[in-house]
Amino acid sequence: MHSKTMKRKILRHSLLANFFILGAILAIQLSGVWSWLRTIDVGSFVRPQSVILTDANGDELRRVYLDKDRLDLPDDAFSPFLRQAVIAIEDERFFNRGCIDLKAIVRAVMANLSDGDIQGASTITQQLTGNLFLDRSDKSIARKTVESLLACRLEQAASRETILGLYLNHMAFGGMIYGAEEASRTYFGVSARDLTLAQSAVLAAMLQRPTYFSPYGIHLHTAVSREAARAIRKGTIWKVEQIPSAAIDIGLLGTHFLTATGSVYVRGRTDLVLNAMLENGFIGEARLALAREELKSMRFAERTTVNAMPYFALEVQRQLKDGAVQTDYPCDTKAGGCIVQTTLDHALQSLAERIVQEHADEIRTRYGAAHIALVAADRATGHILAYVGNVRYSVNEPGAMIDMARVARQPGSSFKPFVYATAFAAGLEPTTFLLDAPLTLGPDHPRNYEGGYRSWTQISHALAASRNIPAILALLYAGGEDAVLLTAARMGVVAPLDTRNIKRRWMPEFTFGYPLAIGSAEVPLIEMVQGYLTLANAGIRRPLTAIASVRAVDGTLLSPPPAPPVQAIAPQHARWLTSILSDTSIRPTPAWNEALTVSGIQTAIKTGTSSRCVNVDPATGRCTLLPGDVWTMGYSPEFVLGIWAGNADYSPLTANADGMNVIAPLWKEFIAGAHELYPQGQKWFTPELSEKKRRG
């Protein structure tokens, strides 16, 4: 007996000791929490928002965000139906209760002890603070206590209207979607300002279990057990009250189950929201009936693909980050909350992707080029209409995730128009003769790509036939490397000049030398398209852009008008180059003409092929050369188009690969398809864009 008494005393003392220890720990924690609470203000609730990218027509392409897909609206901008629906189902005494709703707690406890539905007692403010600052999966008393303190402190610091706005902007609505504005756009394709009563009830219904009640999940509609469904069909169950609650798996929307004489309607979570709105006086019977009718035929927007056109989306992000479109608003993934209307034409993008995909396997097998990039722009505006950074976006293929439209590679002969533009500025003309003959420059003996020489040749014929020796002479006559680099930079091809400036920091004597004339300086495809865009517009440089406008969520325009165009080279010189590159009569062979001509459409086109040294002969010191990069650049009166193919790891192509046989077929197919999609466009160059100058 004595032993049992002692054990009870020890146990009692142990429990008291544990109680005091836990109490002390909790007091210390709450003391620290309370000190922190005094510093809280509404500004601490600011979170990064999404950036929505749309195509040129305003149709959503992709959303860009750091960790949560969300857009904020002002507190008073949400549909009144949504505000009322959320209050009715989540916190019916929101505007009248104290910071802790004791009445709701008692009601929840009583309901949970009975056989009814399990209920919670967290207020809107508690849910908000819990989601922002605490682990909601933690059900401990300590966590609930801290949550309550947070809620009380917030309700001291902000009005209920502000708290409701914060709640609607921050709560989860399934997956990575946060905030009512993003949820509204995702599920209904409208702003949360414009939600109907039925749509508002749906969003409010999702708040309890956002992922479970996702419109794209398996719980869209309420389901019943097989036994209950069988009883309904047989007619032994003819009203919903006869179905055991355990046999009902409630969904977001209710379901009509057919019987022999009619149907049994089993409500969904949305019906509970509407009933709560009715009970709280937010709506009447007439509005309730209209909402129920809308729910019968409710359709949700199709899910968007988050990786849609990833290379283009990354290019848009780069332009935003680099300030290509100036705004006073930080529209990026650190701040977000804006809608970026891009310049992408959905039809032309689909055309570009289809063409690249259809030719990719053959080009890889036949020519050894695993990667392809394509950039197409509107000639008149400089808007990027189609953008393919690589054959496919895949983590499983080496180099596939690299945007090759942004990687600098040797453009070969496609760089020559910039050399001749410089030579024209120095006094040469298309009719000027240059000597296509053996040339010695120090220890080097440059050659023509096709071999042989043609003696005295007009510039127009030399460029049309892509002769190397005349291009080198043109560079020397034009003032050398400096002059050509500056002309190219004015036209938008800035990479060669930037590269030289960077290399001269540790190699003061660095120079490209005469190989610059035949495309030795590396340039990204997107810059080459910018340069050809300048040529296509009679020497006027317009920014090549992927962004048409930037707006706030409320529609306010954030981006100013584009910068005015700049006359980069003399209009006449650009027109001469357009004439040469589009003149079918001076192409060297019928095969060239056929390879570079688009039926029924006048085009200015130039191919390019770079060479790569794959082996050095020890005896002679000569390189064995193989093609490395192949290009086709050019424009029609409507579109500017550049296509590149090669390998991201710089491995060479097969010996028979060049810009004409690898890429020109894709170039022609796109230009023809683009004009077919937009048949009203011009098909022939006007005198303002092209001017011939040749001796008879």
pLDDT tens digits, one per residue of 590-631:
998 999 999 999 999 999 999 888 788 787 777 888 999 999
Residue type, 302: E
pLDDT, tens only, 155-202: 888 889 988 998 998 888 987 788 899 899 889 989 999 999 999 999
CB atoms inside a 10 Å sphere around CB 538: 20
Closest by Cα among 441, 442, 448, 317 to 387:
317
Residue type, 584: T
The pLDDT score that the predictor gives to residue 261 is 73
CA–CA gap between residue 235 and residue 474 (Å, rounded)? 93
Residue 296 has pLDDT above 70, yes or no: yes
- Report the pLDDT averaged over residues 434-461: 89
Alpha-carbon distance 522 to 263, whole Å? Answer: 72
* SS3 (DSSP) at 263: strand
Q: Helices 2-37 and 141-157, interaxial angle, to 10°?
A: 30
Q: Identify the pLDDT of residue 690.
A: 80
pLDDT at residue 363, as a whole number:
96
109 vs 163: which has the higher pLDDT: 163
No. of H helices and E strands in the chain?
A: 23, 21
643/126: higher pLDDT: 643
**Domains defined along the chain, listed by start:** 412-521 (3.40.710.10)
Buried b (16+ CB within 10 A) or exposed e, 208-220: eebeebbbeeebb
What is the C-alpha to C-alpha distance for residues 155 and 50, in angstroms, rounded to an integer?
Answer: 27
Distance CA 204, CA 252 (A): 10
Closest CA to 181 of 200, 197, 198: 200
Strands (E), 396-441: 408-409, 433-436
Q: Phi-psi region for residue 665, left (φ > 0), alpha (ψ -120 to 50) or beta?
A: alpha
SS3 assignment for 478-505: HCCHHHHHHHHHHCCCCHHHHHHHHHCC
| Amino acid type, 616 | V
Closest CA to 63 of 308, 391, 363, 287: 308
Q: How far is CA 71 from the centre of its chain?
A: 16
Coil, strand, or helix at residue 386? strand
Q: What does the pLDDT average to over 324-351? A: 74
* Mean pLDDT taken over the chain: 85
pLDDT at 330: 58
pLDDT tens, residue by residue, 53-98:
889 998 888 877 666 777 788 888 899 999 999 999 998 888 888 7
**Is-contact 526 405, C-beta < 8 A?**
yes
* 521 and 459 Cβ atoms separated by less than 8 Å: no
pLDDT score for 309: 66
Work out the number of other CB atoms within 10 angstroms of the CB of residue 666. 22
pLDDT value, residue 680 = 95
pLDDT of residue 553: 76
Take residue 205 and report the two structure tokens written for it. 């219904």
Burial 74-104 (b: 16+ CB within 10 A, else e): ebebbbebbbbbbbbbbbbebeebebbbeeb
The winner for highest mean pLDDT among 95-99, 256-260, 286-290, 330-334 is 286-290
